Amino acid sequence: MVAQAGLIEQLRAGIAERDERLAGQERRVEELAAEVDRLRRAGSRNSGNSSLPPSSEGVLPGRAGPNRAERRAAGGGKRKRGKQPGQDGRTLAWREEPDRVEAHFPVGACGCGASLAEMAAVGVARSHQSHDLEPVRVGVTQHDLYRVVCGCGRCHVAARPEGVSGAPVSYGPELRALATYFLVRQHLPVERAREAVVELCGVAVSAGWLHSLLALGADAVEESVTEIGERIAAEKVAGFDETPLKVGPKGEKRYVLSASTLLFTLFMLGRRDKASFRVFLLGRMLGVVVHDRYALYDCDECTGFLHQLCVSHLLRDLQDVVETYPEAPGERRVEHGGRPHHGRVRECGVRRVTPRDPGSGYAVNASGVTLISGVSRDSCAGSHLARISRPM
DSSP letter at 311 equals: H
pTM: 0.59
Look at strands 288-291 and 237-246 and give their pairing.
parallel
Q: Read off the pLDDT band of 359 (50, 70, 90).
A: very low
Which of the two residues, 284 and 362, has the higher pLDDT score?
284
Q: Read off the pLDDT band of 55 (50, 70, 90).
A: low
Contact 128, 140 (CB under 8 A): no
pLDDT in tens, 113-164: 889 888 888 899 999 999 988 888 888 999 999 999 999 999 999 999 988 8
pLDDT of residue 113: 87
The shares of helix, strand and coil residues in the chain, as percent rounded to the nearest 5, are: 35, 15, 50
Contact 201, 215 (CB under 8 A): no
pLDDT in tens, 233-282: 999 999 999 888 888 777 788 999 999 999 999 999 888 888 888 888 88
Contact 243, 259 (CB under 8 A): no
pLDDT in tens, 59-108: 555 555 556 565 555 555 567 777 777 777 778 889 999 999 999 999 99
357 φ, ψ (degrees, to nearest 5): -150, 165
